Amino acid sequence: MKPFSKDMKLIRNYMKMNNYLVMLKTYFWTNENNNMIMPDIYKGSSPPPPTRGGGATFGSLLDIYPRSNRNYIKPNNINKELVVYGSNLESCVGMPMYTSIVRQMVGIPNNILYIMTGILLTDGWIDYMSKKNLDIKTIMEVNCRFRFKQSMNHSEYVMYVFMLLSHYCISYPKIKVAWVKGKPYNQLEFYTRSLPCFTVLRKMFYKGSSPPPTRGGVATFGRVKIVPNNLYDLLNYESLAHMIMCDGSFVKGGGLYLNLQSFTIKELIFIMNILKIKFNLNCTLHKSRHQYTIYIRVASVKKLFPMISKYILPCMRHKFDIMTKKYN
């Protein structure tokens, strides 16, 4: 679209489209939103992304998706109680596929985000429903899903996490067979629906390339998991509990290992600083199998255990036997 067109309508559309791209750069290509836990990629007063036809449509989600079923969500005029946001999420397993409008409306409250952060730093991951034309799609057109898998020995923990995230799932966990050195191992896995909110989360936890010069496309195809710059705001004691239940191990002397070998030394030091500043935990780097991991000292483990014990499942108590006998 020519910026110096005499057509005032084209000029207005061009300016609004550029303003939208600046907003995306602010959210995803700079660190100016580090104080935000989950950035709001769409606001009713902001213009939606430009369409493939070259122009841009403006207004609410109803204007962006005029053919979407507006009666998918039935009105509720009976229950008018005030509840804490995110505390009344019910299971959506077995419900029909979401419409385009509903997919854009689904968000991740902070209490769920804390849990997902601890799992994403360890065994959880986010992938794409489809990788087709990722370089030309906008953030509102790319849908990702959260996945989590553990061995059958930890099936109780997988079901526990599934119940916490069942609001985002369409089916129950499934048994998968993984082959390791020619031997089969049964695993339990579940995954969520493909939603834009997980695309935003993936952009925070995976390394992408520089923004492509294509019709407002957003570079979201990074494959390397990273530590987000705003991790300080994403962690709490429940997050640490899930990190330990997924990839934590206690040593005989009473210390604690966080097996985060997939991250770089710089990222591990960044996590250690957060653990020290936010939770007052003293940590060091230990080398394990030619890679580094985080070791939490015994004195800090004594302070940490009472804060996370309420989040630990009975099936994971075997990891805490040393602490339970020593500190209780």
Which CATH homologous superfamily contains domain 235-327?
Answer: Homing endonucleases (3.10.28.10)
Query: In CATH, what number does 59-73+85-226 get?
Result: 3.10.28.10
Residue 264 has φ and ψ, to the nearest 5°, of -75, 165
**What is the residue type of 204?**
M
| 114: CB partners within 8 A, 6+ apart | 234, 235, 236, 238, 239
Residue 305: the pLDDT is 87
Residue 191 has φ and ψ, to the nearest 5°, of -145, 155
Q: Which residues of the chain have pLDDT under 70?
A: 1-59, 140, 208-221, 319-328
How many residues are recorded in the chain?
328
8-state DSSP, 129: S
Of 286, 320, 275, 282, which is closest to residue 298 (Cα–Cα)? 282
3-state helix, strand, coil in the chain (%, to 5): 40, 15, 45
Q: How many angstroms separate the CA atoms of 94 and 103, rounded?
A: 16
Per DSSP bridges, beta strands 256-258 and 183-191 are unpaired
Q: How many angstroms separate the CA atoms of 47 and 212, rounded?
A: 20
User: What letters, b where the CB count within 10 A reaches 16 and e where it falls short, cover 159-169?
Assistant: bebbebbbbbb
Task: Note whether 59-73+85-226 and 235-327 share their fold.
Answer: yes
User: What letters, b where the CB count within 10 A reaches 16 and e where it falls short, cover 51-76?
Assistant: eeeeebeeeebeebbeebeeeeeeee
Residue 283: the pLDDT is 95
Residue 60: the pLDDT is 79
Residue 75: the pLDDT is 79
* Distance, C-alpha 255 to centroid of its chain: 29
- Residue ranges per domain, the chain? 59-73+85-226, 235-327
Q: How many angstroms separate the CA atoms of 272 and 258, rounded?
A: 11
State the residue for tokens 């082959």.
179
